[in-house]
Structure 1
Amino acid sequence: MAKVPTIEELLASAEHSAVHLEMRDTYMPSDPAFIAWQNGTLTDPVGGDVEFQQWLETVWAATGRGVGIRRARVFSVPESDCIRFEHYVSEANAKAGEDIRWLPRRQATDIPFPGNDFWVFDNQLVVVLHFTGDGEAAPDWLEPTRDERVLRLCTSAFEAVWERAVPHAEYRPS
């Protein structure tokens, strides 16, 4: 079985674009930064989070090469603590070069979606993301595919969300 590249490796090799659609209301509830934010002790979204700092450097390097990185989130309202945390840290992502938009789930009822979150790299490769029921990454959480049907579904879902979603700078959680 071939080694599955990480999202960071795929982003480092992307030539033109990377889009990411997130549709869950809870991600990684065991994340120390999320727990610190919930407790009111996280005052800097980047802080001492080495992994997040490395991610931001990867984004900055990719966008510096001209790779357009877009992230869209579909979420329930009122927002979960996790989504409010994601909004809090997303300013750092935006400063690193990600273009981020937000779409309340009620405004997405007529959009056909795949069953999982995903990334699409250079309109050629889809990486499906698998999570456990409580929002933690599943052991085999990255599933790359070049299946044309999956690519078309993911690309059309992302673009439909993107068209309706609110830019990060304009969205405020309730």
Structure 2
Amino acid sequence: MTTVPTFEELFRGCRESAVHLEMRDSYMKSDPAYIDWNAGAAIDPAERWADWLALVSEATSRGVKVRRARIVSEPVSTYIRFEHEVTEGLNIAAGEEVRWLPRRKATGIALPGNDFWLFDSSLLLVNHFDGEGEWLEPSVSTDAQELKLCAEAFESVWALGIPHADYQLA
């Protein structure tokens, strides 16, 4: 049986780059932060996600380039509105670069079937979700073809993506 390293272990072991491609219009609607936000509560990313901020900040401070690209349907879902609102205080504040790509502009890109993290272009963490967007156990891969597909897909999305500061929700 292969043991999947924890996300924190993968992130802390990363030396050059960590890229993340998100392709769903909603995730984990059971997340207390999303539930609170959807009910009208103000969300403080530094309070809600202190561990994430620390993990990414530590990586970027040692020179790891962290990039996140999100493919979104427009008009965007309520969940994407939530993500967009917390991105500045969560992802950008931690040192990530974030871009958004309207799904209509992704038609010509060969995309993998799942969201993923690619660490140092050599290890793939594949995120799996059920039909409701709830997180399932991830898998890891070092398969050369999968690494190549995911790296090329990410770079294609990144090249067409709109930087967070410039992306206006539709």
TM-score normalised by L of structure 1: 0.94
Aligned to 2:119: 121
Gaps of 5+ in 2: none
RMSD between aligned residues: 1.0
Aligned to 1:153: 149
In structure 1, the residue corresponding to 2:44 is in which secondary structure? Answer: coil
Residue identity opposite 1:169 in structure 2: A
Specify which of 114, 134, 137 is matched with residue 135 of structure 2: 137
Aligned to 1:163: 159
State percent identity of aligned pairs. Answer: 52
2:34 is the counterpart of 1:62: no
Output the CA distance in 2 between the equivalents of 1:9 and 1:74: 27
Output the CA distance in 1 between the equivalents of 2:12 and 2:167: 29
In structure 2, the residue corresponding to 1:27 is in which secondary structure? Answer: coil
Structure 1 stretches of at least 4 aligned residues deviating more than 3 Å after TM superposition: none
Output the CA distance in 1 between the equivalents of 2:5 and 2:44: 27
Residue identity opposite 2:101 in structure 1: L
In structure 1, the residue corresponding to 2:45 is in which secondary structure? Answer: coil
Output the CA distance in 2 between the equivalents of 1:8 and 1:172: 32
After superposition, the C-alpha distances for 1:36-77 in whole angstroms (9 at most, x for unaligned) are 111111x1331642xx21011000000000000000000100
2:30 is the counterpart of 1:72: no
2:101 is the counterpart of 1:98: no
Output the CA distance in 2 between the equivalents of 1:69 and 1:100: 9
How many aligned residue pairs are there? 169
Gaps of 5+ in 1: none
Deviation of residue 3 (structure 1)?
A: 2.5
Aligned to 2:106: 108
2:37/2:43 contact within 8 Å kept: no
In structure 1, the residue corresponding to 2:12 is in which secondary structure? Answer: helix
In structure 2, the residue corresponding to 1:2 is in which secondary structure? Answer: coil
